[in-house]
């Protein structure tokens, strides 16, 4: 056990004063949508005792653990309560998990993003469990008149061996709720973990496979109306006029109107990216009736800024990567001098298009706004920021705004930008009725906060011995400057120059699973392969040499380099061993890649065979260093998903624009990877090093694009520079 | 508006709806059976898959007027206690990430196994190819179908 002060997240452990003296808490989540069986009702405790904001213990020993962060498919709703349960020392079968509502008094960082929920939640979650366990021990010590230090716990039982006394947590819960929150607590050693590090199934699994209402789109309320919006057809246009009257009489339609969602004086948050000030709205009884009225509605739009096309973005990004910015982002040594004396120079440019998020559940939100309060329920990754915006646009104090998160049918960054929830609230306020705003797939795909389009130009210099002596990266993106100047190979090359540009556009962009890394990792790792080949070296050995340099004699201030070269090399060595790296003499074409982002290290080896332009991926070996793995079963699911997602988007997906209009609006024209196109096999290996855990929602995606490109080169003898790779065909000859 | 008599999950139900209304929205909005999901509305993603007389069918592009007396099965009616071999296999393999597409995946898989109890790997991939999973759980989906076929 490790003794730790309970200062972190301490306010969460101070009980609600209204409940002082017993801490009795009744009832379950008001979101509970599934009827319990009689057996379940009988097994429910008669009383619950809240020991802190994260957990309550029933008189029969059942424990309810709140999962604070939004669940978007990254499985924190299972993993976060596992951490609490571990330190509380209860059996996992006795745990009931509830999604916590937004509560800034109790929880910190209730946000799904950046693969940070586990990393940033780790200490607080452990404290929540450990303080409650300590309070139970104190209660037992007082009841039994024995020293607290002699009491041990195991799987929900308190035992005092010398006196032979024992009790379940349920028996001591009432007394424990009255114990002072301890100043320090003991945390378990990793070797004593019984839950963390073991396979635990998704806590919502049974509800998912039986079709229970879990998602925002499934919300039903008495008197609830459906609302749909019509947004500008092009980026750069705004609402001018609309003919509401002619569709108001359509069947099932309640009202049709323009609405200003964001007044000029609205205090916007970063989560309002992609906000459209004014929209056309259709409100009716049913989704289908609203869809018909939406189609019939005549809306006039007017241009308020330039209508941009993909050709313009592409040409401008090309100009930018060929133009030196005024200032370098990082400069070590002198690349120009090094290139002059280099024995070999390699130079390439890589590009990728805009991408839509395309969560399978389109954007939606339930809102019921009255003069008294605002009730919001739905899928959003950033409830805390949503509350601030709502307070501004509704003119209502935050105390009157309740936000509850549903399970989300995917996030990938899209639901960081909760403008749809703001729209729902404003429509409800105007209608004076509970409404559920529903986006069609077309609304969802054509009103996005897209992954920016990117271009990056690399130049590397090698000496006569094949040593990397100079590296120059210059990147550009739409609304995003792309380059992480302190990432590898910064610190491993004497002469290094990183430069970046951002092209401002009116196409709204935002975070998309592993922002920037989702493109730059693949480009960097494909270029690294080109350079290793020019150096006449094995691609893994070439990378390991660079990591050795960064370990033994780093260039510049080692603190500045945004990676740990030992952990980086560690995953590469692990994947080399596990894949029996032979660089392609097994009849398959093989590529390797490694990347560090979102605090986790990933290296991958990929085998494929080509069928025309289509890569058929036979196997991926994936080595991961994310420190302690909370739930290996779902951790592997995240790794597999990231790999499929990365291969899919790099190979097949693109969103293009013509005069501001997105040219793809549904899955008939926007291609997502399908079952037959996914790898045949993925094998994942975790580094076991006992380091505090980091996240997994994003890190396996970025590097796989490099491994794929490098294997495709082995198969075709041709480098693929432009995504989607399936369209990157050889130039016509003759 | 017209009245339709539908056989859904073994029960006869009457609904008043415009004849053009896709059965997806009749299920979700009129009958509050929300297990069947909306994904694209143009029969491209498979999230809305139901069984029509045992055949996996996209409900989002199928007008209620075309159903007649065909039997509809939704995810809610696949089994009484959530213990259909495909549902059990889905839990055993721990397939879902976000979970949104999985009802449709399960309906496609269960119709496949009804017609072909021992599909090859290739037959599984082909049958499941019409159902998009944005989280990328395809490998676990294949494994769960295989597991169910062997149970």
What is the tens place of the pLDDT at every residue in A466-483? 999 999 999 999 999 999
Per-residue pLDDT tens over the stretch A120-130: 899 999 999 99
Boundary-marking domain end, from B78, B103, B126: B78
How confident is residue A732, by pLDDT bands cut at 50, 70 and 90?
low
Does residue B70 share a domain with residue B18? yes
Residues 464-523 of A with CB under 8 A from B: none
Q: A149 CB near a chain B CB, below 8 Å?
A: no
Q: Does A591 touch chain B (CB under 8 A)?
A: no
Residue B96 and residue B64 share a domain: no
pLDDT single digits (tens) A399-450: 999 999 999 999 999 999 999 999 999 999 999 999 999 999 999 999 999 9
Residue of B1, B97, B147 for testing the chain A interface, max A β-carbons within 10 Å: B97
Co-location of B64 and B102 in the same domain: no
Res. B48: pLDDT tops 70: yes
Helix (H, G, I), strand (E, B) or coil at A402: strand
B133–chain A nearest CA distance, Å:
7
Q: Which of B36, B52, B78 is the last residue of a domain?
A: B78
Size of interface A-B (CB pairs under 8 A): 185
Q: Are residues B74 and B97 in the same domain?
A: no
Query: What 3-state class would DSSP assign to A325?
Result: coil
* 3-state secondary structure (DSSP) of residue B16: strand
Nearest CA in chain A to B141: A675
Same domain as B119, residue B74: no
Q: Above pLDDT 70, what percent of chain A?
A: 93
User: pLDDT-derived band of residue A9, with 50, 70 and 90 as boundaries?
Assistant: very low
Among B21, B34, B91, whose Cβ lies nearest the Cβ of A288? B21
Q: What pLDDT does residue A4 have?
A: 64
Same domain, B8 and B68: yes
Two tokens, residue A334: 């002198």
CATH code of residue B13: 3.10.20.30
Nearest to A676 among B35, B94, B126 (CB): B126
Which pLDDT belongs to residue A452?
98
Using a CB-CB cut-off of 8 Å, the residues of chain B touching A292 are 18, 20
B97: pLDDT strictly greater than 80: yes
Candidates A214, A362, A634; nearest CB to B99? A214
Q: What are the chain A neighbours of B22 within 8 Å (beta carbons)?
A: 288
Say if the Cβ atoms of A209 and B42 lie within 8 Å: no
**Are residue B67 and residue B96 in the same domain, yes or no?**
no
Domain boundary among B78, B108, B129: B78
Q: Give A733: exposed, middle or buried? Use CB within 10 Å, 0-12, 13-18, 19+.
A: exposed
CATH code of the domain in which B113 resides: 1.10.150.120
Q: Which domain holds residue B92?
A: 85-149
Structural domains counted in chain B: 2
For B125, nearest residue in chain A (alpha carbons): A676
User: Complex ipTM, two decimals?
Assistant: 0.99
Tens of pLDDT, residue by residue over A702-719, are 999 999 999 999 999 999
At residue A621, what are phi and psi to the nearest 5 degrees?
-100, 135
Which among A202, A210, A295 is the top mutation candidate for probing chain B, defined by the most B β-carbons within 10 Å of its own β-carbon?
Answer: A210
Instruction: Give me the residue from A75, A210, A286 closest to B87, CB to CB.
Output: A210
List the single best residue of B139, B141, B142 to mutate versus A (max A Cβ within 10 A).
Answer: B139
- Calculate how close chain A gets to B69, using CA atoms only, in Å: 22
Instruction: Judge whether residue A634 has pLDDT over 70.
Output: yes
Which of A601, A542, A539 is CA-nearest to residue A567?
Answer: A601
The residue among A165 and A10 whose pLDDT is bigger is: A165
- Give every CB contact of residue A145 below 8 A, 6+ residues apart in sequence: none
Chain B residues inside the 8 Å CB shell of A220: 32, 34
Digit-coded pLDDT (tens) for A546-576: 999 999 999 998 889 999 999 999 999 999 9
How much is the average pLDDT of A642-660? Answer: 98
Tell whether the torsion through CA atoms of A85, A88, A93 and A99 is positive or negative: negative
Closest A-chain CA to B82: A210
pLDDT digits (tens, 9 = 90+) for A239-279: 999 999 999 999 999 999 999 999 999 999 999 999 999 99
Written in H, E and C, the secondary structure of A157-221 is: EEEECCCCEEEEHHHHHHHHCCCCCCCEEEECCHHHCCCCCCCCCCCCHHHHHCCCCCEHHHCCC
Confidence of residue B73 (pLDDT cuts 50, 70, 90): very high
d(CA A92, CA A156): 10
Q: Do B131 and A220 touch (CB under 8 A)?
A: no
Query: What's residue A20's pLDDT?
Result: 32
In chain A, positions 410-449, which contact chain B (CB-CB < 8 Å)? 410-412, 440-441
Helix (H, G, I), strand (E, B) or coil at B129: coil
pLDDT in tens, A25-62: 333 332 333 445 556 667 888 999 999 999 999 999 99
Confidence of residue A588 (pLDDT cuts 50, 70, 90): confident
- 3-class SS of residue A437: strand
Residue A253's pLDDT is: 98
Q: Are residues B7 and B71 in the same domain?
A: yes
A chain contacts of residue B75, beta-carbon cutoff 8 Å: 209-211
The Cα–Cα gap between A716 and A609 comes to 10
**Over the stretch A173-211, which tens digit does the pLDDT of each residue have?**
999 999 998 888 889 999 999 999 999 999 999 999 999
B8 and B71 within one domain: yes
**Residue in B closest to A291 by C-alpha:** B21
Q: Identify which of A204, A291, A634 has the shortest CB distance to residue B99.
A: A204
Question: Is residue B90 located within the same domain as residue B72?
Answer: no
d(CA A3, CA A120): 20
The torsion defined by the Cα of A596, A599, A603 and A607, in degrees rounded to 10, comes to: -90
Mean model confidence pLDDT for chain A: 93
Contacts of B38 in chain A (CB under 8 A): 217, 287, 362
Residue of B nearest to A360 (CA): B39
- Do B57 and B91 belong to one domain? no
Residues B69 and B127 in one domain: no
Determine the Cα–Cα distance for residues A363 and B124; give it in Å rounded to an integer.
31
Instruction: Please compute the mean of the pLDDT values over residues A650-666 and round it to a whole number.
Output: 98
Whether residue B100 and residue A410 make contact (CB cut-off 8 A), yes or no, is yes
């Amino acid at each position: 056990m490790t003794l730790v002060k309970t200062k972190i997240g301490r306010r969460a452990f101070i009980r609600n004063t209204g409940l002082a003296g017993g801490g009795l808490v009744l009832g379950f989540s008001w979101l509970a949508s599934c009827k319990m069986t009689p057996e379940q009702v009988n097994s429910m405790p008669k009383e619950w005792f809240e020991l802190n904001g994260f957990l309550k213990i029933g008189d029969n020993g059942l424990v309810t653990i709140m999962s604070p962060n939004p669940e978007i498919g990254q499985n924190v709703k299972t993993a976060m309560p596992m951490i609490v349960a571990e330190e509380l020392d209860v059996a996992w079968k006795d745990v009931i998990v509830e999604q916590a509502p937004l509560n800034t008094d109790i929880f910190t960082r209730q946000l799904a993003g950046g693969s940070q929920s586990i990393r940033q939640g780790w200490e607080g979650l452990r404290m929540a469990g450990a303080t409650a366990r300590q309070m139970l021990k104190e209660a037992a010590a007082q009841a039994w008149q024995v020293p607290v230090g002699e009491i041990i716990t195991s799987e929900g039982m308190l035992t005092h061996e010398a006196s032979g006394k024992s009790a379940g947590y349920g028996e001591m819960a009432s007394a424990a709720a009255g114990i002072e929150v301890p100043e320090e607590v003991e945390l378990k050693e990793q070797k004593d973990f019984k839950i963390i590090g073991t396979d635990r199934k998704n806590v919502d699994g049974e509800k998912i496979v039986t079709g229970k209402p879990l998602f925002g789109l499934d919300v039903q309320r008495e008197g609830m109306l459906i609302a749909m919006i019509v947004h500008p057809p092009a980026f750069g246009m705004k609402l001018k006029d609309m003919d509401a009257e002619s569709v108001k009489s359509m069947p099932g339609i309640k009202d049709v109107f323009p609405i200003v969602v964001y007044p000029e004086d609205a205090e916007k948050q970063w989560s309002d990216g992609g906000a459209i000030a004014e929209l056309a709205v259709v409100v009716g009884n049913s989704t289908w009736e609203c869809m018909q009225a939406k189609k019939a509605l005549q809306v006039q739009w007017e241009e308020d800024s330039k209508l941009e096309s993909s050709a313009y973005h592409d040409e401008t990004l090309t100009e930018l990567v060929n133009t030196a910015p005024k200032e370098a982002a990082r400069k070590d040594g002198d690349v120009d001098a090094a290139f002059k004396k280099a024995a070999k120079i390699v130079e390439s440019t890589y590009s990728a298009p805009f991408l839509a998020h395309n969560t399978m559940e389109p954007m939606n939100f339930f809102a019921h706004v009255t003069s008294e309060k605002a009730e919001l329920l739905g899928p959003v990754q950033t409830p805390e920021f949503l509350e601030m915006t709502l307070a501004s646009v509704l003119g209502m104090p935050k105390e009157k705004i309740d936000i509850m998160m549903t399970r989300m049918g995917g996030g990938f960054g899209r639901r960081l930008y909760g403008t749809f929830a703001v729209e729902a609230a404003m429509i409800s306020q105007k209608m004076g009725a509970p409404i559920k705003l529903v986006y069609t797939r077309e609304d969802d795909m054509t009103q996005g906060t897209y992954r920016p389009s990117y271009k990056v130009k690399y130049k590397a210099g090698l000496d006569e011995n094949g040593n990397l002596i100079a590296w120059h990266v210059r990147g550009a993106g739409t609304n995003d400057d792309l380059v992480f100047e302190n990432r590898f190979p910064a610190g491993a090359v004497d002469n290094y120059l990183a430069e970046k540009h951002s092209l401002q556009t009116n196409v709204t962009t935002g975070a998309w699973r592993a922002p920037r890394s989702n493109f730059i990792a693949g480009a960097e790792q494909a270029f690294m392969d080109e350079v290793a080949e020019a150096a006449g070296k094995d691609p893994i050995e070439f990378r390991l040499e660079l990591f050795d340099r960064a370990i033994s004699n780093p260039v510049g201030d080692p603190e500045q380099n945004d990676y740990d070269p030992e952990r980086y090399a560690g995953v590469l060595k692990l994947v080399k061993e596990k894949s029996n790296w032979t660089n392609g003499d097994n009849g398959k074409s093989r590529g390797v890649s490694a990347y560090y982002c979102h605090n986790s290290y990933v290296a991958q080896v990929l085998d494929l065979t080509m069928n025309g332009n289509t890569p058929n991926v036979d196997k991926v070996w994936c080595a991961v260093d994310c420190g302690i793995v909370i739930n290996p079963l779902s951790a592997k699911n995240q790794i597999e998903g990231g790999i499929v997602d990365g291969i899919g988007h790099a190979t097949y997906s693109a969103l293009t624009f013509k005069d501001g209009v997105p040219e793809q609006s549904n899955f008939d024209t926007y291609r997502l990877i399908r079952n037959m196109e996914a790898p045949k096999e993925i094998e994942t290996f975790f580094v076991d090093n006992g380091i505090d855990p980091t996240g997994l929602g994003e890190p396996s995606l970025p590097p796989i694009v490099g491994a794929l490109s490098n294997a495709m080169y082995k198969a075709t003898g041709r480098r693929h520079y432009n995504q989607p790779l399936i369209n990157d065909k050889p130039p016509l000859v003759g | 508006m017209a009245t339709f008599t539908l056989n859904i999950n073994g029960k006869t139900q009457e609904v008043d709806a415009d004849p053009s209304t896709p059965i997806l929205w009749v299920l979700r909005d009129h009958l509050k059976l929300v297990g069947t999901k909306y994904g694209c509305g143009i029969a491209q993603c498979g999230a809305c898959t139901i069984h029509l007389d045992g055949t996996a069918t996209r409900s989002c592009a199928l007008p209620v007027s075309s159903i007649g007396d065909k039997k509809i099965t939704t995810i809610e009616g696949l089994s009484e206690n959530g213990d259909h071999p495909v549902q059990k296999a889905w839990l055993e393999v721990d397939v879902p990430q976000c979970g949104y597409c999985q009802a449709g995946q399960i309906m496609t898989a269960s119709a496949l196994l009804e017609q072909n109890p021992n599909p090859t790997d290739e037959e599984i991939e082909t049958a499941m190819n019409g159902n998009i999973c944005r989280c990328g759980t395809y490998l676990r989906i294949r494994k769960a179908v295989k597991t169910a076929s062997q149970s």
